[in-house]
Amino acid sequence: MRESVQRSTRRPGLAPDATLCGDVTIGPGVRILHGARLIGEAGGAIRIGRDGIIMENAVIRASTKHPCTIGEPQTELVARQWLIAP
């Protein structure tokens, strides 16, 4: 299992009761709120792009057959924001 956070001057915000499990990568400026669960099961990868919000109690799951990528902008010049809610 691998958990990583991309390095940036805008660090992600992770609530103390949020769960990251498995191969999860979180981009800069992301906020993961209370009770959220990001679970990469059996080698499944989760990639969360920059500057988004994962709301309270949201659940994101991935498997090797169904990896998950959310919110990766096409260029650094385009400001995109997103929100995931249960």
pLDDT digits (tens, 9 = 90+) for 5-60: 444 557 779 999 999 999 999 988 899 999 999 999 998 999 998 888 899 999 99
The secondary structure of residue 43, as a DSSP letter, is G
The contacts of residue 56 (CB under 8 Å, 6+ apart) are 33, 34, 35, 36, 86
Q: Determine the structural domain holding residue 32 and report its residue range.
A: 3-84
Cα dihedral 75, 50, 24, 85 sign: negative
Q: What is the pTM of this model?
A: 0.75
What does the pLDDT read at residue 70? 87
Are 52 and 84 a contacting pair, CB within 8 Å? yes
Q: How far apart are CA 48 and CA 1, in angstroms?
A: 17
Does an H or E element contain 69, and which? strand 68-70
Number of domains present in the structure of the chain: 1
pLDDT digits (tens, 9 = 90+) for 53-80: 899 999 999 999 999 988 765 544 445 5
